[in-house]
Amino acid sequence: METAITAAAMVESITRLRAAGCVFAEDEAEVLRAAATDETALRAMVERRALGEPLEQVVGYADFCGVRVRLLPGVFVPRVRSELLVRMASAAASAGSVVVDLCCGSGALGLAVRAQRPGIELHAADVDPVAVACARDNLGDNVYQGDLFDALPTGLRGRIDVLLANVPYVATRHIALLPAEARDHEPPTALDGGDDGLDVFRAVACRAGEWLAPRGIVLSEITGAQVETALAVAEDAGLAVDLGYDDDLEARVVRGQKTVGPVR
């Protein structure tokens, strides 16, 4: 919808964003203009952005992997690098597959996989009630709140074909090095993975076999520095492991597969 926003208001917006250090001030001003209902709303949004709130939280959406994901303030903004997770999940899923987006945040990953593979049975869960509300808004039913697998209906045990688990994986000592946008506007529970960043990953890996269907897979994003440890953790959990990577996205994904037989 075109709004009555004058050229002067746009110049004012760009100037404010530039002064706040936004590198892409013109582009961001356009995105804000498209989301603003009038000049008063535009000024308020520009101010939030100038004070460091992520653009996606200010406008209330993120465009990710070809889908528009609605976002609430304080909910993790889906990262471009997570396209690799979506690609690997979509490659493994087909109509009828049970896909779970664990640690779902806004539900962006599940939403993107469902757009590429309509007909999947999608479930999602997160510990953060704000994230859960956001994911329900994006995904509809089958979004649960709670700690990892404890949030899921027991009927999913042994039935999950694709378990997306984009867990928090920043080592605690590295949190201070993150951009202020993330540090100040995304909750620590969405970022902090403990001493080596792999605490939540370990908790997922050690219970994945119980929840995966035979030959089901778990997919988790990690950093380059975590590759060796993460592969060992998944292997120790009884999974067959390999690594997906995309150097352009600077993305690394551990893939663990339940190889055989009955639920443990």
Handedness of CA 66, 69, 73, 79 (dihedral sign): negative
Closest CB 147 distance from ligand SAM, rounded Å: 5
Q: Name the residue among 147, 161, 154, 153 with its Cα closest to residue 103.
A: 147
Q: Smallest gap, in angstroms, from Cβ of residue 75 to ligand SAM?
A: 7
Q: Judged by CB, which is closer to ligand SAM: 41, or 127?
A: 127
Cross-strand partners of 243: 254
Q: Which residues bind ligand SAM (CB under 6 A)?
A: 76, 78, 82, 103-106, 108-109, 126-128, 131, 147-148, 166-168, 189-190, 200
Closest approach, Cβ 50 to ligand SAM, in A, equals 25
Q: SS3 for 237?
A: coil
Cβ proximity to ligand SAM, 189 vs 229, nearer residue: 189
| Closest-CA residue to 165 (of 224, 216, 115, 229) | 216
Q: How far is the CB of 103 from ligand SAM (least distance, A)?
A: 3
Residue whose CB is less far from ligand SAM, 31 or 151: 151
| Residues 67, 112 contacting (CB under 8 angstroms) | yes
Question: Smaller CB distance to ligand SAM: residue 31 or 169?
Answer: 169
Residue whose CB is nearest to ligand SAM in the complex, by number: 105
- The beta strands (E) that lie in 65-120 are given as 67-70, 98-102
Which tokens sit at 249?
Answer: 């996205």
Q: Report, in Å, the least distance between residue 151 CB and ligand SAM.
A: 7
Q: Considering the complex, state which of residue 50 and residue 132 has its C-beta at the smaller distance from ligand SAM.
A: 132
Angle at 202 between CA 196 and CA 204, to 5 degrees: 135
